Structure 1
Amino acid sequence: MSQLPETHDIDDRADKAHEDERHAALAYLDEAWNEAVYDGLDEDCLAQAALFTAIRSMVATYGEDAAADFAERLAGRIRAGEYTIPENRQ
């Protein structure tokens, strides 16, 4: 199994292509998320299911060790604000 790529391991052209693909994927997931919430699903249940599905996919693609290493780095990234969307301040 290969290791999950670090952001700095990808050259600029590949990073741009991956960035575009990540944005498209996020748009699909946001739309599905919003539809599920509109249909009455609890957001905590959605979050748990999304995390499970994402981690299961990473384990299948990269193996347990690489997925676990990625998960271990998440706490620092969360604390650093990588997953915080700033509120619009006017």
Structure 2
Amino acid sequence: MNKNDLPLNELQELSAIKQAALSYVTEAFAEAEFDGLDADCMAQAALFAAFMELVATYGEEAVAEYAQGLPDKIRSGGFSTALKH
């Protein structure tokens, strides 16, 4: 089993890998902005691509269960502080 095979709830333990991945995404956003793309458009495309990949990896039901926790994480600032670390 590799790290991509871990259940969604165990991905929290992979903070170094997640930080590296976030760096790649942040760089892609910066490149897109440099090329004149709107950040909102990039964000929506990134979300779509991310959910497509998660569904392909874990299936619709697992991803739907994971997504149910997103409103609480958003409201509690889980994404507001993600880029500050």
Flag the structure with larger Rg.
Answer: 1
User: Gaps (5+ residues) in structure 1?
Assistant: none
Q: Which runs of 5+ in 2 are unaligned?
A: none
Whichever residue aligns with residue 46 of structure 2, its letter is A
Give the TM-score of the pair, scaled to structure 2: 0.81
Q: Which residue does the alignment assign to 1:79?
A: 75
Question: Amino acid of the residue matched to residue 19 of structure 1?
Answer: S
Give me the identity figure in percent. Answer: 43
- Of Structure 1 and Structure 2, the greater helix share is in 2
Which protein, 1 or 2, shows the higher relative CO under an 8 Å CA cutoff with sep ≥ 6?
1
The aligned runs of 1:5-84 (5 Å cut-off) are 5-7=8-10, 15=13, 18-84=14-80
Runs of 4+ in 1 over 3 A off after TM superposition: none
Residues matched between the structures, number: 79
